[in-house]
Amino acid sequence: MSPAITPAMIGQVIISGILAGSLYAMVALGLSLIFGVMRVINIAHGPMLMLGAYTTYFLYAGFGLNPYLSLPISMAVLFVLGAVLQRALVFRVVDAPELSSLLLTFGISIALVNVAQLAFTSDLRSVEYLTGSWVAGPFAFSKPRVVACLIASAITAGAFLFLQKTRLGKAIRATSQSREVAMVCGINVQRIHLLSFGMAAALAAAGGTLISMMIAIQPEMGQIWTFKSFLVIVLGGAGNYPGALLGGLLLGLIEQLASLFLTTQLSEAVAYVLLVVVLLVRPTGLLGGRQT
């Protein structure tokens, strides 16, 4: 328990919460996209984020590439990997019972984590690029987190514009509303699935690149992100894309508040209790979503 909580501390917590929440929102949008379009919860979403972080690390350590410039590369690499996984494995279980898709993506997740263990070892690695904070009055703004928040917001906004305005984005939304009707309208649903899976992997990779400058990189860093991303889409409402935004910010704020009033150790438990309570009280999410 903290002895005294000042208004400045609350302000700091809100700042940190929004900074973290923007990343949650971007990564969760990817999981939400796959769930919306294919009705598949991709357990391997977090490990994809881990691979994005490693891509950035190796480009930085090997070629001295600025980690922010590696962002498009890590997104492109994971886009391809996501598309390949969808084409090779996941498409076979899109119409199968949920058990199959959950277990399949769980298997993929274990395989990715252990390939990373074998290839990169479990040594902790870090990208020390932008460190320190900007200080404004009583508040500190961690540099990598502020930049990450800006980039994540830009990418998320770009993804929304893409979904809202372009023909392809409209095709994705149509497929997630009803696959059959989308097919009747001449949309190539197989291609939409491929594209959404690739986009989702790229969003996870962007998250990986951005957090590679904040925390240690290791093969098991990703799994917790699958859970957190899911928590975000439950908060916002499953299959409700704007809901992911609200859910992300809420999760960031709640975690930071919990670490202020309780301890950091318990903040993860608080996120979990939140999930259980939301499922109990408002299972369709705060903004409401489609029941599955």
Partner 1 sequence: MSGRGRMFVAGLAVLVLVLAVYPSFGSGYGVRSMLQLFMWMALAGSWNLISGLTGYVSFGHVAFFGAGSYTAAILITKAGWPWLAASLAGGLGACVLALLIGYPCLRLKGPYFAIAMLGLNEVLRALVSYFEGLTGGGLGLSLPTLQATVPVYYVMGLTAIGVTALTYVIITSRFGLRLMTIREDEVAAEAMGIDTFRHKLYAFLLSAVGPGIVGGLAARDQGYIEPISVFPLAMTITMIVMVLFGGKGTVWGPVLGAATLFIFQELVWAQFIYLHQLLFGAIIIGVVLLMPRGVLGLLQMKYRLPRTI
Q: List contacts with partner 1 (CB under 8 A).
A: 35, 41, 43, 89, 92-93, 97-100, 102-104, 106-115, 117-118, 223-224, 226-227, 230-231, 234, 238, 263, 265-266, 268-269, 271-272, 275-277, 279-280, 283, 291-292
Q: How far is the CB of 107 from partner 1 (least distance, A)?
A: 3
Residue closer to partner 1 by CB (options 63, 292) is: 292
- Rank residues 80 and 110 by Cβ distance to partner 1 and give the closer one: 110
Q: Compute the residue count for the chain.
A: 292
State in angstroms the smallest separation of the CB of 85 from partner 1.
10
- Look up residue 39 and give its amino acid: R
Q: Judged by CB, which is closer to partner 1: 216, or 279?
A: 279
Q: How far is the CB of 178 from partner 1 (least distance, A)?
A: 18
Residue 103 or 168: the one with the smaller Cβ distance to partner 1 is 103
Backbone angles phi, psi at 141, to 5 degrees: -115, 105
Identity of the residue, 234 or 254, whose beta carbon is nearer to partner 1 in the bound complex: 234
Given the complex with partner 1, which of 113 and 203 has the nearer CB atom? 113
Closest CA to 240 of 36, 66, 103: 36
Shortest distance in whole angstroms from residue 93 CB to partner 1: 7
Return all residues near 63 (Cβ < 8 A) that are at least 6 apart. none
Q: Backbone dihedral region of 255: left (phi > 0), alpha (psi from -120 to 50 degrees) or beta?
A: alpha
Q: How near is the Cβ of 4 to partner 1 at its closest, in Å?
A: 22
Centre a 10 Å sphere on the Cβ of residue 122 and count the other Cβ atoms it contains: 11
Q: Nearer Cβ to partner 1, position 70 or 86? A: 86
Give the nearest distance from C-beta 118 to partner 1 in angstroms: 5
Residue 231: CB minimum distance to partner 1, A: 8
Within 8 A by CB and 6+ apart from 252, the residues are: 16, 17, 18, 19, 20, 21, 22, 23, 24
The CA–CA distances, whole Å, from 2 to 6, 258, 262 equal: 10, 11, 8
137 alpha carbon, distance to own chain's centre: 32
d(CA 14, CA 254): 9
Instruction: Please state the φ and ψ torsions of residue 133, each to the nearest 5 degrees.
Output: -135, 155
Residue 289 DSSP code: -
